[in-house]
Structure 1
Amino acid sequence: MKQSLLTFIKKFQDFLQQTFRKNNPKLPYVITILVALIIVVAGLNIFIELTETLKEEILANYDQQISNYIISFRNPSLTRYFIFMTNVGDIYGYLVVLVLALCISWFFFKNWRYVAQTVLVLMLASISNVMLKRFIDRARPGIEHLVSVETLSYPSGHAMSAMAFYGFLIYIFYRFKMNNWLKYGIILLLVFIILSIGISRIYLGVHFPSDIAGGYIAGLIWVFFCILIFNLVEVFRRDPKT
């Protein structure tokens, strides 16, 4: 297996060297597109497998055990924190972040493209989440809910939107040329926000852990699918023949 992998890497490296010049500006975009495509395909397979096992007893047991463990930590301070984080993962939280992103784009980068792309990723994730919920039709957990909910359970809209929105912001910040300490500090903060929003939904009793996993996977698929499309557009835009 190891030898086959090394052979594949060598052949892929030879292909890139033969196809692209050393300083070809399109090369990073092509590599990003290939990686994004692989992750999209893998993510779709994982999401389908998870969805097909929702009614199996093994997954139900894991859901119950993980939920019981997280709920066992309930206390007034944690409840306030997770209610705050679940609000961060709601529409008003995204509006606040988008306003901040617009200000940063205007004063520092003079470029609205990243903001527009982030909004598009969030919209695609939100619309597809509504469709998936209605198609899969999974009820909420039958335990005490600490916040009110009206929609279906799988996949979690909060987890899916958080992964799509903040996940795409991670990609954007990774591409920025800025101080590495600041860059990776922001990326760690965004990862922490994504995880906190997902855990908050379990803690508040409104989602199964598998709902959160499904939401994360579906959101990640949208992130890499959009990265794939945006980079394809960039490649064609840089092509002097188009």
Structure 2
Amino acid sequence: MADLQVGRSSRRPTHRRHLHQITHVVRIAASTGARWLARQEAAVLVAVLVVLLAVFGFVRIAEELGEGELAKLDEWLLELLRVPGEPHHPVGPPWLMEAAQDITVLGGRTMLLAVTLFATGYLALERKYGAMWLVAAAAGGGGVLSTVMKQLFGRDRPDIVPHLVAVTSPSFPSGHSMLAAIMYLTLGALLARFAVRRRTKVYLIAVALFATLVVGISRVYLGVHYPSDVLAGWCAGLVWSLICWLVARYLQYRGTVERSGRI
């Protein structure tokens, strides 16, 4: 017992030293971040607020996953989108299912990989390297994050209605919804940044939002995701895309990346 107490007492100074070092680093980072935020435009402050709200939304959905009123609402909405007594047939005209199958491809990994390669290639040719790395980090990191979260939560796909497209991965959060939010919102924000006219900026952001929304809706319509999967995917995608944008802006502030063509 005495030896154990001696061992503990010998480790305490080391632990305190490490704690002091960590606290010092955190204080420096917080101070630098606070100074940066204080000098930024309103868009950055709004982005921080949206990140916090989206994180809160994701956590709330995850806490209620598959339980209580959320589970009932998920199942009710899925059944609402099918013809009563004919679960293999979605509501609406026949062409709507084909359209949903086409639209959902916009959130697929192959399509988004192609979009990422085209976008980063163009930005590299234009020597907008900060924007290029932003797109690459958003897309690559988002793909990894989506895969990790799916495996972490391991939610089964909906089984109350037949799936109208093939799926293999876990259900929560919706990868298509998350990756579409990351890719299209990031590109929309970048293009809007480079646009001159205000109406052009509004148009680009609206198109990005529309693409993100229709991809998520198509996943529910096709019966491969619960609505809560899609909502969580949108929240996660919004958080990641805004974090990447904020980091890029911060690196410009520090002079780590070029300041020409602000992100």
Aligned residues: 214
Q: Spell out, residue by residue over 1:178-232, the C-alpha distance to the aligned partner (whole angstroms, 9 max, x if none).
A: 2333332222222111111001111111000000000000111101211221111
- Identify the residue that residue 125 of structure 1 maps to in structure 2: 142
Structure 1 stretch 73-82 or stretch 194-203: which is displaced more? 73-82
Pair 1:51-2:62 in alignment: yes
Match of 2:163 among 137, 145, 152: 145
The residue type paired with residue 183 of structure 2 is F
The structure that has the greater radius of gyration is: 2
Unaligned runs of 5+ in 1: 1-18, 21-25
- Identify the residue that residue 200 of structure 1 maps to in structure 2: 218
Instruction: Write the distance in 2 (CA, Å) between the matches of 1:115 and 1:77.
Output: 38
Instruction: Write the distance in 2 (CA, Å) between the matches of 1:102 and 1:235.
Output: 22
C-alpha deviation, 1:173, in angstroms: 2.4
C-alpha deviation, 1:38, in angstroms: 2.9
C-alpha deviation, 1:138, in angstroms: 0.7
How many percent of aligned residue pairs carry the same amino acid? 28
- Identify the residue that residue 27 of structure 1 maps to in structure 2: 39
Structure 1 stretch 187-196 or stretch 35-44: which is displaced more? 35-44
C-alpha deviation, 1:74, in angstroms: 4.4
Report 1:201-216 matches (<5 A).
Answer: 201-216=219-234
Instruction: Write the distance in 2 (CA, Å) between the matches of 1:180 and 1:100.
Output: 25
C-alpha deviation, 1:32, in angstroms: 4.5
Structure 1 stretch 219-228 or stretch 91-100: which is displaced more? 91-100
- Identify the residue that residue 30 of structure 2 maps to in structure 1: none
Instruction: Write the distance in 2 (CA, Å) between the matches of 1:205 and 1:170.
Output: 28
Instruction: Write the distance in 1 (CA, Å) between the matches of 2:46 and 2:210.
Output: 24
Pair 1:165-2:163 in alignment: no
Q: Spell out, residue by residue over 1:153-187, the C-alpha distance to the aligned partner (whole angstroms, 9 max, x if none).
A: 00000001011111112221232232333332222
- Identify the residue that residue 68 of structure 1 maps to in structure 2: 79
- Identify the residue that residue 37 of structure 1 maps to in structure 2: 48
Mapped contact 1:82–1:204 kept (Cα < 8 A): yes
C-alpha deviation, 1:101, in angstroms: 2.5
Pair 1:188-2:200 in alignment: no
Mapped contact 1:71–1:202 kept (Cα < 8 A): no
- Identify the residue that residue 260 of structure 2 maps to in structure 1: none
Where in structure 1 do 4 or more consecutive aligned residues deviate above 6 Å?
none
Q: CA RMSD in A?
A: 2.5
Instruction: Write the distance in 1 (CA, Å) between the matches of 2:197 and 2:46.
Output: 25
- Identify the residue that residue 13 of structure 1 maps to in structure 2: none
The structure showing larger relative contact order (alpha-carbon pairs under 8 Å, at least 6 residues apart) is: 1
Mapped contact 2:142–2:182 kept (Cα < 8 A): yes
Pair 1:95-2:113 in alignment: yes
Instruction: Write the distance in 2 (CA, Å) between the matches of 1:134 and 1:104.
Output: 34
Mapped contact 2:104–2:215 kept (Cα < 8 A): yes
Q: TM-score, normalised by structure 1?
A: 0.78
Which SS does the other structure have where 1:211 is aligned? Answer: helix
Mapped contact 2:216–2:230 kept (Cα < 8 A): yes
- Identify the residue that residue 115 of structure 1 maps to in structure 2: 132
Structure 1 stretch 165-174 or stretch 68-77: which is displaced more? 68-77
Quickly say closer, same or farther: Cα 1:104–1:128, change in 2 above 3 A.
closer
Mapped contact 2:219–2:225 kept (Cα < 8 A): yes
Mapped contact 2:116–2:139 kept (Cα < 8 A): no
Unaligned runs of 5+ in 2: 1-33, 84-90, 258-263
